[in-house]
A = this chain, B = another copy of it.
Amino acid sequence: MELRGTGDLAVVIERATGSVQILDTSSRTSIGQVKGLGDLSHASIVYSRDARYAYVFGRDGGLTKIDILEQKIVKRVIQSGNSIGGAISQDGRLLAVSNYTPGGVKVFNSSTLELIADIPAVGNNGLRSKVVGLVDAPGQQFVFSLYDAGEIWIVDFSDGKPEIRKFTDIGLLPYDGLISGNGRFYIAGLFGEDGLALLDLWNIQDGVKRILSDYGKGQRKMPVYKMPHLEGWAITDNYAFLPAVGRNTVLVVDRNTWKEVKQIPVHGQPIFVMSRPDGRQVWVNYAFPNNDTVEVIDTLTLEKMKTLKPGKAVLHMEFTPRGEHVWISARDNNWIKVFDTDTFEVLTTLPAKKPSGIFMSSRAHQTGL
């Protein structure tokens, strides 16, 4: 292997084959593949702070450390029966994994994958809960939600051992969570009722508040093909752009008051609503049966400006860190397309086996991804 920088590399999940491809986003080529990663049907990735190692969280509870320079598995552990995602601490030394079965969070040394802490998610109701919406936050913290118990927990590792702070009765069945890019606001989506739970980490004494009380399935109980992802929510200078649940709508919300500013009609039930890094555009993909389409919203006019058809079953979009390109995976076409975000031209099409999430190594330097 030759020396090379790791700032322009990416990893894409090939969900059907338990493999990943390593991509070079400068030459826009695939430079390798790593196999043997288990069930990747709902997998995600975080990066070491030197952007050399990718940690893959698999649905089967597998946690795999990949060396993207040597293109090989460094270590792999099966850490639970069923996991949903993970996060890496601010200093890069701790990996936290959120688990469904048994419900809880396990924390590992990111260098050795040795277990450091095992935190069972036993809620105020005395029952063990699934854990969802796990994110990292500044100050060596992890924040997550207890699905069955309706709680949000903060675990602080700044003194080396876990110190837990619990917020109970935050709402029924939190199913996912996100943290704002600066690591201040943690928001949990609720499956069991309308509204969202907001925790301001700069003012935790204020506790969890309910915002956007209309947000959710509402009275009409529309069929929801897939609950939208929260992680991708676009938060720009003035607005947050949110996928409405079960409706062909993107909601524009004032970022300071959390009041609705506008409803933008779109092509389908939105899944990811993602901001180009400069905030000038928001890109949206959709649930089945409208998942062949991506639409682009102009964040100044709050109108749709472009419709694209990247392929069948568009699962994920990842912007280059400075926003000039976006990489889009189309599962059922077995390809990834790279678009210029200015001209909307397709620059490259790369083959991949049932591609889903695309993760660029610049994530190493960001909070809450």
A300: interface (CB < 8 Å): yes
- Residue pair B49, A278 in contact (C-beta under 8 Å): no
A161: interface (CB < 8 Å): no
Distance between Cα atoms of A182 and B183 in the complex (Å): 17
- Residue pair A7, B52 in contact (C-beta under 8 Å): yes
B-contact bits for A61-78, CB 8 A (1 contact / 0 none): 000000001100000000
Q: How far, in Å, is A53 (CB) from chain B's closest CB?
A: 7
Chain B residues whose C-beta falls within 8 Å of the C-beta of A332 in the assembled complex: none
Main secondary structure of the interface of A (DSSP, over half): loop
Q: Can you list 13 residue pairs at the A/B interface with Cβ under 8 Å? A: A3-B69, A5-B53, A6-B6, A6-B7, A7-B50, A7-B365, A25-B49, A90-B323, A140-B324, A184-B278, A202-B280, A322-B365, A362-B362
- Residue pair B278, A5 in contact (C-beta under 8 Å): no
Chain B residues whose C-beta falls within 8 Å of the C-beta of A138 in the assembled complex: 278, 280, 322-324
A275-295 contacts to B (CB < 8 Å): 277-280
B-contact bits for A194-223, CB 8 A (1 contact / 0 none): 000000001100000000000000000000
A310-340 contacts to B (CB < 8 Å): 321-324
Q: Smallest CB-CB separation from A276: which chain B residue?
A: B138
Specify which of B4, B158, B300, B364 is in contact with A52 (CB 8 Å cutoff): B4
- Residue pair A4, B182 in contact (C-beta under 8 Å): no
- Residue pair A4, B278 in contact (C-beta under 8 Å): no
A44: interface (CB < 8 Å): no
- Residue pair B6, A367 in contact (C-beta under 8 Å): no
- Residue pair A50, B69 in contact (C-beta under 8 Å): no
Would A278 and B182 be within 8 Å (CB), given that A5-B53, A6-B51, A49-B8 are in contact? yes
